[in-house]
Amino acid sequence: MFEVVLFQPEIPPNTGNIIRLCAATGARLHLIEPLGFQWDDKRLRRAGLDYHEFAEVRHHTSLATFREALPGRRVFAQSRHATLSLHAARFAPGDVLLFGAETRGLPSDLGEQLPLHASLRIPMRPGIRSLNLANAVAVTLYEALRQCAGLAGTTEI
């Protein structure tokens, strides 16, 4: 199982879509506060449809409390400033996939706060800053699953 981590997400529909993605893949979702919305936001519920009950979501009050919850795990951070392509990474079950807030990404001092295995970028055409957060999580998570032989209990990935 992979751990998907959203650092201070701001847009409820993105988080709702990621809840649905985690329900579909069996990944565990971690939300590092503060959130840019209320947990009971109707836009969050609508985007997640009725998948909330199938996703395991954990809340953490800070990056430090998140780190304490998953000690010793390899952390791959997504960053548009990274030089290592997502496709060059070698994922293993249990890895942590960390994503920043929609408007500001991850803190610049993240490496001092959390031991990173690697910072990754999703390849895209020059001049394009980033993908939507939910799309970036989907691309990264499915690449990790592809490398690790897919989803348990399914016929293919």
Q: What is the pLDDT of residue 156?
A: 52
pLDDT digits (tens, 9 = 90+) for 59-96: 999 999 999 999 989 999 998 888 899 999 999 999 99
Q: What is the pLDDT of residue 112?
A: 76
Share of the chain above pLDDT 90, in %: 57
**Considering the domain 3-147, what is its CATH architecture?**
3-Layer(aba) Sandwich (3.40)
SS (H, E, C) the chain: CCEEEEECCCCHHHHHHHHHHHHHHCCEEEEECCCCCCCCCHHHHHHHCCCHHHCCEEEECCHHHHHHHCCCCCEEEECCCCCEEHHHCCCCCCCEEEECECCCECCCCHHHHCCCCEEEECCCCCCCCCCCHHHHHHHHHHHHHHHCCCCCCCCCC
pLDDT digits (tens, 9 = 90+) for 25-52: 999 999 999 988 778 767 666 655 577 7
